[in-house]
Chains A and B, each alone.
Chain A
Amino acid sequence: MSSKNRIRRFTPVQQLFHLLLILSFMTQAVTGLARLFIETSWGKWLAWLFGGYDACRIIHIYVGIFMICLFVLHLFYVLGKVNWKEFPGSLYGPDSLMFRFKDVKDFFRHVGWFFGIAKAPEFDRWGYWEKFDYWAVFWGIPVLGITGLLLAYHVAASKIMPGWGLNIALWIHRIEAILAMLHVFILHLVLSNLRRSNFPMDRAMFEGSVELTHARHERPAWVSRLEQAGELERNLVPEAPVGRRAIFYVFGYAVIVVSTFLLIGGLINSPYITW
């Protein structure tokens, strides 16, 4: 019998949301970059993988619509998760992803710790950088989704707004998408997987749990809160079997490899396209 040395962090539904987000985001990244870089051989090759310039557009539109549906589903999910009895106070509890004043304090204390002038902050369940990641996606999907729909159905869109709005929609879509990709490819993946304390991979989102040792070290406020409430025992789970862990590593590193390829290819080819 394997020991229960991990603490549950994400539910299977949340893991499924994240997995679908990874798959759809990466598809959008490849098909979107293929179209943006179609003037270069790199972009042509990316487009060829998905059936060419026009096929990339169709895939991009339908996967985009899928992401919008996912977002709407997520909204219903979140509404179902809110503790309405204690609303709105419950929104600012330690288990909520809403920003609170402690996050600002944590940020500055954390930066102080980087320079060795402050003690590391005692994080609760969600660190400020994780909340930022969540809200970045929460803001990003509607921005990309709305501008994407306007661009995809441009003739219909021009009935509800002037046609020059499409020029603006394209730039919003472009910059927001580039920001999202750079954020995920550089900040999110590096921070989650390549930091010394997480290396070689943070399996929390795949396995749904983190090592208790690690949680006690990085999020002491969360673990002690669970201990005081007598809920720690209930939230402990065993480690996933080796086979499943291997799948997590292969999938996770495949995403990192593709991301790095897109990042480097995009940076190298960016001077050779018509923006």
Chain B
Amino acid sequence: MERIKPLKLWLVGVLLVELILLGNVAFAQEEVASALRRYKAYEASTGYYEEYEVRPRRQRPLISVPNIRQGIFPYSPTVAKVRSRTHLEDSHQGIRFYQGRQCEDCHPAAALDIHTTRANLTCRQCHGGEPVASVNYYWSPLNPIRRHAYVCAKCHEGASASYASYVVHEPNPALASTKVAFPALFYVFWIMIGLAVGTFAIFLPHDVLWGIRELFAKKEKPEGELKE
């Protein structure tokens, strides 16, 4: 009896630590709106994009996700709702005449990326139905902590969190603002452009001058010693 008591205490302790530190079962599976048909198949067959909402996993204080300020007290509700539209449940709340507008009216650059122009994706296929949640809103399907599973993996099977860091709304790599937003892309772009321009800056005039010079060159002398 005396032996069992410390064991029980130990088990209770482990259970408490697990409850605090480990997340509970994710609700990720609920994102598939229909139990019978896969989300993607449903979309493709009907052209109708179901609204869905996702629920958060319990926060795990010891596990942080890059770019997401997370912890026991990530941010106060006031800060999230007032100071930034990137954390709102309805990112467009308070915008006048919102219902009469289309996404491209206010986000023209966001409509010009490979996903939109080539794969013919619509905004809602990734951002969800109304109300469109902010990307960093905790419950949003596009929140980086679950974006890969909830959005990317709908088409790109096996997408990981790393995969989801692909910048869909890529900034113009040539712009100075990209040096701040996506420095690696900015520098690589200009290095490659420098290489291409450098090659042509040397060889285009070189070839043109060569071509012109040959027009004025003496005709080649016929070979006097042709071999039989």
Contact = CB atoms under 8 A, between A and B. Distances in A.
A38 B117 CA distance: 9
A187 B165 contact: no
A251 to B, nearest CB: 23
Given A158-B166, A175-B192, A191 B220 contact: no
Interface string A178-221: 11001100110011001111000000000000011110110000
A194 B208 CA distance: 11
Nearest to B187: A168
B185 A168 contact: yes
A110 B211 CA distance: 12
A191 B205 CA distance: 12
Contacts of B114: 274
> At the interface, is chain B mostly helix, strand, loop or mixed?
helix
Interface string B42-69: 0000000000000000000000000000
26 contacts: A3-B226, A4-B226, A4-B227, A4-B228, A39-B117, A53-B118, A111-B206, A116-B213, A155-B156, A158-B159, A158-B165, A163-B160, A163-B163, A163-B165, A167-B170, A171-B192, A175-B193, A182-B200, A187-B207, A190-B207, A196-B211, A196-B215, A197-B214, A211-B223, A233-B227, A274-B118
Interface in A97-142: 110-111, 113-116, 129, 132, 136
Contact of B163 (A53, A129, A158, A214): A158
B204 A187 contact: yes
Interface residues of B, number: 48
Contacts of B156: 154-155
> At the interface, is chain A mostly helix, strand, loop or mixed?
helix
Contact of A168 (B164, B188, B204, B223): B188
A81 interface: no
Question: Which of A1, A164, A186, A214 has the most chain B CB atoms closer than 10 A to its own CB?
Answer: A164
Contacts of A159: 160, 162
B29 interface: no
Contact of A39 (B118, B157, B221): B118
